[in-house]
Amino acid sequence: MKELTRAVLIERLLAWQSEQLASEAMWLWALEQRAQSKPSDVAVRDALDMLCGIPDDLLLPEDAEVMLDALHNPLDQADLSSNLLWNYADMIDHVGRRQALSADPFYGPYCGG
């Protein structure tokens, strides 16, 4: 099983953040990585877990900034990275995003709940 490194994940996040990579493509890539790769560390694992929930959690390219911050923390601060990611996920305004994204071709079907 290949290893998914911080460098590879950061490269993908930057492409998504700059909208060179669509949200659906990022999500499908994340699902593929989860199935075929082993995360190199806890921060990579947790960021990948978040990316696998892009449509359900209504994550947007702007959310990549928090994942990038977590991935730039030193390896010995893995707990800080995990807390940053999961606390951020809890702060997202899902109601507002559901309303804003309800007509979006990709996110729309996930806005019903």
pLDDT digits over 72-104, tens only?
999 899 888 989 998 998 899 999 999 999 999
Residue 29, domain member (yes or no): yes
Tally of structural domains, the chain: 1
| Nearest of 31, 112, 12 to residue 71 by alpha carbon | 12
Tell me: the pLDDT tens digits for 18-77? 999 999 999 999 999 999 999 999 999 999 999 999 999 999 999 999 999 999 999 899
- Looking at residue 70, its pLDDT comes to 95
- Looking at residue 49, its pLDDT comes to 96
Ramachandran region of residue 19, left (φ > 0), alpha (ψ -120 to 50) or beta?
A: left
Residue 66, domain member (yes or no): yes
Residue 82's domain comprises: 2-108
Residue 113, domain member (yes or no): no
Residue 62, domain member (yes or no): yes
- Looking at residue 113, its pLDDT comes to 53
pLDDT band for position 1 (cuts 50, 70, 90): confident
The three-state (H, E, C) secondary structure of 48-112, written as one string: HHHHCCHHHHCCCHHHHHHHHHHHHCCHHHHHHHHHHHHHHHHHCCHHHHHHHHCCCCCCHHHCC
